[in-house]
């Protein structure tokens, strides 16, 4: 597992990337900055680059705490809410997770950020 540092203004959270080709390619592109906006269930923003993915890993829905890539739209998302209704949202590839205190930090935020992502 690869640990990443997510900086939202003055708030720092950490996530673990999984071992998928998508997550490994993402780690290889770090550091990067992604403009993200809070929607009440996630922080989402357009990726500055595309990533490889396995079509078999593309699915609907998420688990709160997932760090996802939307390959067809080119979106990066940190999903912190809405799990119970998420099956209606497709094109999700899980790259990693925030858990516990790290997830709580992100859930407490609002607004938009130039999210800085780097290896921890």
Residues 16, 60: Cα–Cα separation, whole Å:
21
Could you report the per-residue pLDDT of 86-108, keeping only the tens digit for each? 999 999 999 999 999 999 999 99
pTM, full prediction: 0.95
Q: How does the average pLDDT of the chain come out, rounded? A: 96
When pLDDT is cut at 50, 70 and 90, the band that residue 38 belongs to is: very high
Contacts of 61 (CB under 8 A, 6+ apart): 83, 86, 87, 88, 89, 92
| pLDDT, position 23 | 98
When pLDDT is cut at 50, 70 and 90, the band that residue 1 belongs to is: confident
Contacts of 56 (CB under 8 A, 6+ apart): none
């Amino acid at each position: 597992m690869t640990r990443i540092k997510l900086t939202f203004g003055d708030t720092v959270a950490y996530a673990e990337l999984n071992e998928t080709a998508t997550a490994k390619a993402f780690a290889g592109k770090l550091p990067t900055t992604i403009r993200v906006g809070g929607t009440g269930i996630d922080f989402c923003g357009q990726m500055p680059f595309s990533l490889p993915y396995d079509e078999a890993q593309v699915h609907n829905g998420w688990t709160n705490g997932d760090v996802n890539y939307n390959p067809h739209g080119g979106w990066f998302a940190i999903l912190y809410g809405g799990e119970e209704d998420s099956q209606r949202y497709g094109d999700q590839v899980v790259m990693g997770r925030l858990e516990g205190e790290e997830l709580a930090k992100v859930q407490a935020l609002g607004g938009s950020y130039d999210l800085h992502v780097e290896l921890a």
